[in-house]
Chains A and B, each alone.
Chain A
Amino acid sequence: MTDLRVNFAGVELKNPIVVPSGTFGFGREYGQFFDLSELGAICVKGLTPLRRQGNPAPRIAETPMGILNSVGLQNPGVDAFIAHELPELRRHDVKIIANISGNTPEEYGGMCEKLSAAGVDMIEVNISCPNVKAGGLAYGTRPEMAAEVTEIAKKSSTVPVMVKLSPNVTDITEIAKAVEGAGADAISLINTIRGMRIDVNTGRPILKMNTGGLSGPAVLPVAVRMVWEVANAVKVPILGMGGVSKGADAAELMLAGAAAVAVGTASFADAYAPVRVRDELSAIGERKGLANIAALTGGVRPW
């Protein structure tokens, strides 16, 4: 039996399978299909200081082997999360990672203080949402701004801080090095890739916001490449994500350098996807005769 436990930036995960922010709500819905304790960790829907309604619909478009979304960080706000959602999530034996987005460094800091005090296991700093006007992606595309947000998040947190990177940059390693230098305990990538679809009959973009973020199997090779580049540039552990829908995809991201892997869009097609990916990954570990699944991490043998 391959031991699936991994230590991720000091947080003990019972397996390396995580569900990424924005694909899993606060766990209530998919908790109808399987016990949330089956997962390594849950990254909750992106939180902001105040409640946000998000963008107008349509917010989703199908693409070849993928989807575009433009939800725009709809969430009840950090205080409502702490009051109503966190206690419910805490009933399960699963690590909780709070994903946060702010308009200013101070907003990130304030949320980190509240969430640390509320007892989440880790904070994921989103500097890469492509669907909001202020903050979000702006922090994720400039190394010095990414570092500034990371620094204040670290200073305001008593739990490990992970920074989620955008793939919408020329050189992702610059940003990765900047956030590592500013004290990030871990890095997650990739957020969605900006894209657009147009209805040929009407000439209108399918998304009301015109553009959105691409996810799903179509982005897997981009994720593998970027995880590999970042793994070669930094020492902190990586939560790899982007298009994982089967165990072999998760293994690929781990070989590229990820210590843990998130399964997101795949849940929309198969409600059991995260659990299935975990089992398939476990089978791969056994077939390779691995004592611990962590042995996959960074195991790629580049030409």
Chain B
Amino acid sequence: MPVQKMCTVAEAVRLNEFAYSLTLEVGEEMTSQTSCGQFVHIKCGEERLLRRPISICDWQGDLLRVVFEVRGEGTQWLSRRKAGDMLDVLGPLGHGFDLSAKRLLVVGGGIGVPPMLGVAKAAASAGAEVHAALGFRDQGHQMLTDAFVECCRSMSVISDDGSTGRKGFVTELVEEFLRNQPCAGADCAACSGKPEPPVVMACGPKGMLKAVAAACAAHGVACQVSLEERMGCGVGACLVCACDMADGSRKHVCKDGPVFNAGEVDWND
């Protein structure tokens, strides 16, 4: 059951020119229910009616951490919060990643990177073999890579301009990773005894997720994606954050998602 409460900002850190990290004293009632890929809905000042949905980066004890970039007035306001300030937080909300896989590749693009850190940490501490593929616009946007190195078996970084890691898109890293895996076919004699195929979990811009989903489908690898949509209530009552499914139905990002199996999603615009 989600909790709505006023929380103290325990720590406010600027990660780079664009990204901010807030660690919030949300209490164990909230953290004990939290799972990877869920989000919190944060009120950004009295004059803005709608809360802002921000994915959970990490949590421990009674603390929960969110990382966000300034995108508009709401996140601008949020970026000015300091340790000791109070925030109205509603969460945890939504349906997160299924972490039952033994081997996984976490894929993050830009501001889609922070929630994947929570996934990487939780899966690694549960004994899974975790690899990370992270894409950033440039060196200036890079964040959290040290934390990924700590919990992942491998980590690759790529950037649009090559100023950090290789030059290119994160999809290329996914494609390479999958190409180097044993094939997924259960009836393939050559693969018998090889490690089970990985599961890919991704968060980032829709175009990136579409490409990652296509690469996974081509390799027969399961893929979970975290989607974004303009949101209202955050709990599934107002029905504004609709997303189209491959079967022609419409689901809601806040309640049915934000994490969906890539095969469920209608990727056509």
* B237 adjacent to A57 (CB under 8 Å): no
Measured between beta carbons, the chain B residues less than 8 angstroms from A272 are: 4
* A58 adjacent to B230 (CB under 8 Å): yes
Q: Does B233 contact A (CB under 8 A)?
A: yes
* Interface hub of B43, B49, B241, B249 (most chain A Cβ within 10 A): B49
Q: Does A143 contact B (CB under 8 A)?
A: no
Given A29-B237, A217-B49: A268 and B232 interface contact (C-beta under 8 Å):
yes
- Cβ proximity bits B223-260 to A, threshold 8 Å, 1 near / 0 not: 00000011111111111111110000110000100000
- With the chains together, A92 CA to B90 CA distance in Å? 24
- With the chains together, A30 CA to B233 CA distance in Å? 10
* B232 adjacent to A57 (CB under 8 Å): no
Q: Does A65 contact B (CB under 8 A)?
A: yes
Using CB atoms, name the residue of chain A closest to B244: A56
Q: Does A281 contact B (CB under 8 A)?
A: no
Q: Does A222 contact B (CB under 8 A)?
A: no
Measured between beta carbons, the chain A residues less than 8 angstroms from B82 are: none
Query: B144: shortest Cβ distance to chain A, in Å?
Result: 28
Given A53-B250, A67-B232: A268 and B51 interface contact (C-beta under 8 Å):
yes
Given A54-B250, A61-B230: A267 and B237 interface contact (C-beta under 8 Å):
yes
Number of A interface residues in the complex (CB < 8 A): 37
* A271 adjacent to B239 (CB under 8 Å): no
Q: Does A265 contact B (CB under 8 A)?
A: yes
* A25 adjacent to B240 (CB under 8 Å): no
* B239 adjacent to A54 (CB under 8 Å): yes
* Interface hub of B4, B48, B240, B243 (most chain A Cβ within 10 A): B240
Report whether over half of chain A's contact residues are helix, strand or loop; otherwise say mixed. loop
Using CB atoms, name the residue of chain B closest to A74: B239
Q: Does B195 contact A (CB under 8 A)?
A: no
Report whether over half of chain B's contact residues are helix, strand or loop; otherwise say mixed. loop
Q: Does A240 contact B (CB under 8 A)?
A: no
Measured between beta carbons, the chain B residues less than 8 angstroms from A22 are: 238-239
- Cβ proximity bits A255-272 to B, threshold 8 Å, 1 near / 0 not: 000000000010111111
- With the chains together, A206 CA to B238 CA distance in Å? 17
Given A23-B237, A30-B235, A54-B239: A65 and B229 interface contact (C-beta under 8 Å):
no
Query: A58: shortest Cβ distance to chain B, in Å?
Result: 4
* B235 adjacent to A216 (CB under 8 Å): no
- With the chains together, A214 CA to B240 CA distance in Å? 14
- With the chains together, A272 CA to B233 CA distance in Å? 12
Q: Does B50 contact A (CB under 8 A)?
A: yes
* B238 adjacent to A268 (CB under 8 Å): yes
Using CB atoms, name the residue of chain A closest to B253: A57
* A71 adjacent to B239 (CB under 8 Å): yes
- In chain B, positions 1-60 with a C-beta closer than 8 Å to chain A are 1-2, 4, 43, 47-51
Measured between beta carbons, the chain A residues less than 8 angstroms from B234 are: 268
Query: B207: shortest Cβ distance to chain A, in Å?
Result: 15
Q: Does A173 contact B (CB under 8 A)?
A: no
- Cβ proximity bits A9-48 to B, threshold 8 Å, 1 near / 0 not: 0000000000000111100111011000000000001000
Measured between beta carbons, the chain B residues less than 8 angstroms from A23 are: 233, 237-238
Given A32-B1, A67-B49, A271-B4: A57 and B230 interface contact (C-beta under 8 Å):
yes
Given A57-B230, A60-B232, A268-B233: A69 and B240 interface contact (C-beta under 8 Å):
yes
Q: Does A59 contact B (CB under 8 A)?
A: yes
- With the chains together, A95 CA to B160 CA distance in Å? 57
Using CB atoms, name the residue of chain A closest to B235: A29
* A58 adjacent to B238 (CB under 8 Å): no
- Cβ proximity bits A201-233 to B, threshold 8 Å, 1 near / 0 not: 000001000000000110000000000000000
Measured between beta carbons, the chain B residues less than 8 angstroms from A59 are: 230, 239-242
* Interface hub of B1, B47, B231, B235 (most chain A Cβ within 10 A): B235
Please list 17 pairs of residues, one from A and one from B, whose beta carbons are closer than 8 Å in the complex, sorted by A's number: A25-B238, A56-B242, A58-B229, A59-B240, A60-B230, A66-B49, A67-B49, A69-B232, A71-B238, A71-B242, A74-B239, A206-B230, A265-B49, A268-B49, A268-B51, A268-B238, A269-B49
Q: List the 5 shortest-distance A-B pairs measured between CB atoms, nearest first.
A: A60-B240, A25-B237, A59-B240, A29-B237, A29-B235
